[in-house]
Amino acid sequence: MSKLKKGVVVLFAALLIAVFVPALSGCGGGDIFSGLSLYTLRITLHEDGQGIDVAMSLDYRNNYNVELSELHFNLHANAFREDAQYRPVSAADMANAFPNGESFGGIDIASVSVNGTNTAVEITGQDYNVLRVPFANALMPTHRTVIDMQFSVRLANVRHRLGWYNNLINLGNFFPIAAIFQNGEFATNVYYYIGDPFFSTAANFDVSITKPANLIAAMSGRTYREVTSGAATTTAKIYGARDFAIVLGEFEVLTETVDDIEVRYYFHNDSEAAKNLQAAVDSIVTFSDMFGAYPWETFSTVQTAFLHGGMEYPALTMISDELEGDVFREVIIHEAAHQWWYAVVGSDQVRHGWIDESLTQMATSLFFEANPQYGVTYEERMAEALSMLSLYAQAFRNQPGFTTAMDRPLSEFSNSLEYVVMAYYKGKIMLDTLRIQIGNEAFMLAMRTLYQDNMFGIITPELVIAAFETASQRQLAPFFNAWLDGSIQVFGNN
Give the DSSP letter string of 220-261. SSEEEEEEETTEEEEEEEEEEES---EEEES-EEEEEEETTE
Q: What is the pLDDT of residue 50?
A: 98
pLDDT at 310 over 50: yes
Q: What's the N-to-C CA distance of the chain in angstroms?
A: 30
Distance CA 340, CA 272 (A): 26
Q: Residue 14 above 70 pLDDT?
A: no
User: Of 1-5, 322-326, 460-464, which range is least confident?
Assistant: 1-5
Where residue 10 falls among pLDDT bands split at 50, 70, 90? very low
Strands 168-171 and 216-219: what pairing?
unpaired
pLDDT beyond 60 at 489:
yes
Question: Is residue 466 pLDDT above 90, yes or no?
Answer: yes
Output the pLDDT for position 3.
61
Fold of 37-160+175-201: Immunoglobulin-like (2.60.40)
Q: Tell me how crowded residue 120 is: count the other CB atoms within 10 A of its CB.
A: 8
Q: State residue 223 phi and psi, 5-degree precision.
A: -105, 150
Q: Are 306 and 319 in contact (CB under 8 A)?
A: yes
Residue closest to 410 by CA, chosen among 190, 87, 201, 97: 190
pLDDT at 30: 52
CB atoms within 10 A of CB 184: 6
Please check the confidence at residue 295 and state whether its pLDDT lies above 50.
Answer: yes
User: Does residue 29 register a pLDDT over 60?
Assistant: no
pLDDT at residue 205 tops 80: yes
275 vs 286: CA distance, rounded Å = 16
Q: What is the separation of C-alpha 352 from the centre of its chain, rounded to a whole number of angstroms?
A: 14
Give 490's pLDDT tier (boundaries 50, 70, 90): confident
pLDDT (0 to 100) of residue 492: 55
How buried is residue 207: exposed, middle or buried, by Cβ count under 10 Å (0-12/13-18/19+)? buried
CATH 2.60.40 spans which residues of the chain? 37-160+175-201
Instruction: Give the architecture-level CATH label for domain 359-484.
Output: Orthogonal Bundle (1.10)
Residue 8: is its pLDDT beyond 90? no
Give CA–CA dist 351/464, Å, rounded: 15
Residue ranges of the chain that CATH labels 1.10.390: 359-484
For the beta carbon of residue 364, count every other beta carbon within 10 angstroms.
27
> CA-CA distance, 450 to 218, in Å (whole number)?
30
- Averaged confidence pLDDT in the chain: 93
CA distance 320 to 2: 10
Residues 315-333 have pLDDT tens digits of 999 999 999 999 999 999 9
- Rounded CA-CA distance 29/36 in Å is 10
Mean pLDDT of 110-118: 98
95-106: average pLDDT: 98
- pLDDT tens sequence across 214-235: 999 999 999 999 999 889 999 9
Question: Across the strands, what pairs with 181?
Answer: 186
pLDDT-derived band of residue 494, with 50, 70 and 90 as boundaries?
very low
Q: What is the pLDDT of residue 248?
A: 98
Whether the predicted pLDDT of 341 surpasses 80: yes
Identify the pLDDT of residue 27: 36
Q: Within 10 A of 172 (CB to CB), how many other CB atoms are there?
A: 23
> Residue 176 in 3-state DSSP?
coil
pTM (predicted TM-score): 0.94
pLDDT at 230: 85
Question: pLDDT-derived band of residue 488, with 50, 70 and 90 as boundaries?
Answer: confident
Contact yes or no for 301/276 (Cβ under 8 A): yes
- Chain segment 397-440, per-residue pLDDT in tens: 999 999 999 999 999 999 999 999 999 999 999 999 999 999 99
* Per-residue confidence (pLDDT) for residue 16, from 0 to 100: 37
pLDDT of residue 190: 98
Is the CB of residue 327 less than 8 Å from the CB of residue 6?
A: yes
For range 117-146, the mean pLDDT: 98
